Structure 1
Amino acid sequence: MSVWRLVRLKFGNSPVHFGEVGIGLEKSSERIRSDALFSAWISTYARLFGKAGVEELLERFPTKAKPESQPPVRMSSTFIYSRPEGKNEIYYLPRPLKFPINYPREDLPFFKEYKKLTYLPISVWHRWYQGEGFTKNDEEELIGRTKDKRELIDKTQKKPPVNDALHQAGTFNYGETFKPEKRPKIAVDRVNAATNLYHTGFVQFNWDQSNNEILSLAGLYFLLEFPEEDKSLETNLHAALSLLGEEGLGGRRSSGAGRFEIEWESSLPQDWQKILNHPKERTHHCVISLFWDDDSSVLKDLITDQCSYEIQERRGWIAGSPSGHNLRRKSVQMFLEGSVFPQPPLGKLADVTPEGFKDHQIYRNGIALSIPIKVKPEKISSDCL
């Protein structure tokens, strides 16, 4: 029986800079994906337990050379959680790229409002994709929000809709949990000492201060699934993650960005137990991590007219070449979070070692973590999602 852990990253008043494909220094994503988290975590693990320790761990994961291996742990990407004053914690999950059960055919009056819901609170996620599905009240609430925006009603005068279950769950508050900001930086030319002003994008999660204590009102979380209890591995991963929190996650760490404290939950909250208690009528699986596989026979079974997915090229740089310069790692195409498949995808580590780099292998984590869901049975084009 698998063992689940929920890990929260509390950044307090420390900003973060998470670069993404197509995003320059002036912008930052509000979260970090599973392959980047895995790489940072493994690098810290190697410093703690040495080359032999990290190679022993990586040897346990499935790769192209040994696809049948059972991974010692699966991890999700990071997603936002918030702690609203006087309310329980809200955890957000990516909306699956399929319509939920009971979603109406005639959705023109509210489709734009629905499409904006890229992330859902897990209470709504559970109801839409594992429970009763989309309801008439949900439709009326989304239509109400659309009408309010068309009429340009001032927020201070707007009355809450009669049916406001989505609002009460925090469905529309995702963007209020963090604040993007730009900070000026100065670059100094090493040759002629000329200066150049530029800006770097950061994300600041909500925080407060009470009696000289920094309180994290929002941050990131992720899930771990162990195939069986492994206290030794869990202890080592905990230690490596703690060290990573002191050093910082993401870019611009020399500016103090990305530092965090961890909360490692040994027992899942009740809402999460509902999510992970597989529904009997499950029809599909939604990935909450990145997913990669190079086996055409595996992909043939997954990529059918019953799936909906998005793909992104994952590329970047590594440090540690013999010359002391950065090297570009090989790029791979990975399925993104929220992709839906008729069967649970498994995935592998992708070998992205640059040509000529002989020190050690470089991997990107394409091992999938998925949750079973129920979706609308009609065939729907992913283009409209």
Structure 2
Amino acid sequence: SGDRQFAVPEFAAPLVAGRVALREEKPLPYYVGSYVFSEHSGLYFILGVEHEEEFTLIKELLLSLGYSGIGGKRSSGYGKFELPDDELMLYDDGGVYDDDTAIALMLYNEKSKYQMCLAPVCPKADELAVVKQGSYKLIKRGGFITSSAAKDNIKRNSIYMLQEGSCFPERLRGQMLQQTVDGLAHDVYRDGIGMFVGLKNE
């Protein structure tokens, strides 16, 4: 009886470290924030492909990206990662773990009246009527671009998208956004294509 307390697992913890910039005449202190994963924890993502060669190409790209790093200053060793030895295949008729099967069932459940997006989505103009029937929040996406075509990082224009966790009566296709950025010779892409799971109607 009474309120039950559940321990929330700690998958990662924020870490702030002090640094000193020595490029100016006077040394300037600054702080670098990072996110350190606990042992046996990490990031995962869902990938769907139609052909085996697509999977092979993406795996090779991920291996390469693991050496160079993501989301951090690569010259300081941040953002580097290793892929697990084996991938987990998702099957809706029984997988290795119960959680995997549950995820697969939700991914394939397009008939539920509650479709929740797992990533920010940017709807197309002809999808706005469906958006109005849903429950959603807007999220601002911006940031900087690092490119070999530019000497310094370039700030990109911010855009608003529908936040992950928003629900709609049907799935939105969304769109890939193509942005022109001042000072950059090539366009920059932002993924706004929807990925949804169908929730139980209860």
Which bin holds the TM-score, normalised by the shorter protein? 0.7 to 0.9
Cα shift readout 1:318-358 (whole Å, capped 9, x = no counterpart): 2348663433223211112111111011111111221464x
69, 82, 86: which one aligns with 1:261: 82
CA contact 1:302–1:343 (8 Å) conserved in 2:
no
- Structure label with greater radius of gyration: 1
Partner of 1:181: 15
CA contact 1:321–1:327 (8 Å) conserved in 2:
no
26, 35, 38: which one aligns with 1:206: 38
Alpha-carbon distance between aligned partners in 1 of 2:87 and 2:150, rounded to the nearest angstrom: 42
Partner of 1:291: 121
Computed over aligned residues only, the root mean square deviation of the Cα atoms, in angstroms, reads 2.4
Alpha-carbon distance between aligned partners in 1 of 2:101 and 2:32, rounded to the nearest angstrom: 39
Within 5 A, what are the aligned runs for 1:39-78? none
Within 5 A, what are the aligned runs for 1:134-213? 143-145=3-5, 167=6, 172-174=7-9, 176-190=10-24, 192=25, 194-207=26-39
The structure-2 alpha-carbon separation of the partners of 1:280 and 1:198, relative to structure 1 and needing over 3 Å to count, comes to closer
Alpha-carbon distance between aligned partners in 1 of 2:156 and 2:110, rounded to the nearest angstrom: 42
Alpha-carbon distance between aligned partners in 1 of 2:52 and 2:150, rounded to the nearest angstrom: 39
> Counterpart amino acid of 2:103?
I
Partner of 1:275: 103
> Counterpart amino acid of 2:181?
P
What is the number of residues matched between the two proteins?
Answer: 193
Tell me the CA shift for residue 279 of structure 1: 5.3
> Counterpart amino acid of 2:69?
G
> Counterpart amino acid of 1:177?
F
187, 197, 202: which one aligns with 1:371: 197
Alpha-carbon distance between aligned partners in 2 of 1:266 and 1:321, rounded to the nearest angstrom: 34
Partner of 1:317: 144
* TM-score normalised by length of structure 1: 0.46
What is the SS of the residue equivalent to 1:241?
A: helix
Within 5 A, what are the aligned runs for 1:242-257? 242-257=63-78
Q: Percent identity?
A: 28
Larger helix fraction of residues: 1
Tell me the CA shift for residue 282 of structure 1: 2.1
Q: Please say if 1:331 is aligned against 2:158.
A: yes
Cα shift readout 1:163-201 (whole Å, capped 9, x = no counterpart): xxxx4xxxx424x221222111111243x2x11222211
> Counterpart amino acid of 2:8?
N
CA contact 2:109–2:198 (8 Å) conserved in 1:
yes
What is the SS of the residue equivalent to 2:89?
A: coil
CA contact 2:177–2:190 (8 Å) conserved in 1:
yes
Alpha-carbon distance between aligned partners in 2 of 1:290 and 1:181, rounded to the nearest angstrom: 26
CA contact 2:69–2:80 (8 Å) conserved in 1:
yes
Alpha-carbon distance between aligned partners in 1 of 2:149 and 2:165, rounded to the nearest angstrom: 39
What is the SS of the residue equivalent to 2:193?
A: coil
Cα shift readout 1:273-292 (whole Å, capped 9, x = no counterpart): 23322459722111111211
236, 239, 242: which one aligns with 2:57: 236
The structure-2 alpha-carbon separation of the partners of 1:336 and 1:323, relative to structure 1 and needing over 3 Å to count, comes to closer
What is the SS of the residue equivalent to 1:201?
A: strand
Cα shift readout 1:99-123 (whole Å, capped 9, x = no counterpart): xxxxxxxxxxxxxxxxxxxxxxxxx
CA contact 1:349–1:366 (8 Å) conserved in 2:
yes
Runs of 4 or more consecutive aligned structure 1 residues displaced over 4 Å after TM superposition: 278-281
The structure-2 alpha-carbon separation of the partners of 1:323 and 1:233, relative to structure 1 and needing over 3 Å to count, comes to closer
The structure-2 alpha-carbon separation of the partners of 1:188 and 1:319, relative to structure 1 and needing over 3 Å to count, comes to same
Unaligned 5+ residue runs, structure 2? 91-95
Alpha-carbon distance between aligned partners in 1 of 2:103 and 2:113, rounded to the nearest angstrom: 15
Alpha-carbon distance between aligned partners in 2 of 1:292 and 1:261, rounded to the nearest angstrom: 31
* TM-score normalised by length of structure 2: 0.83
> Counterpart amino acid of 1:223?
I
The structure-2 alpha-carbon separation of the partners of 1:316 and 1:325, relative to structure 1 and needing over 3 Å to count, comes to same
Alpha-carbon distance between aligned partners in 2 of 1:275 and 1:179, rounded to the nearest angstrom: 26
The structure-2 alpha-carbon separation of the partners of 1:300 and 1:321, relative to structure 1 and needing over 3 Å to count, comes to farther
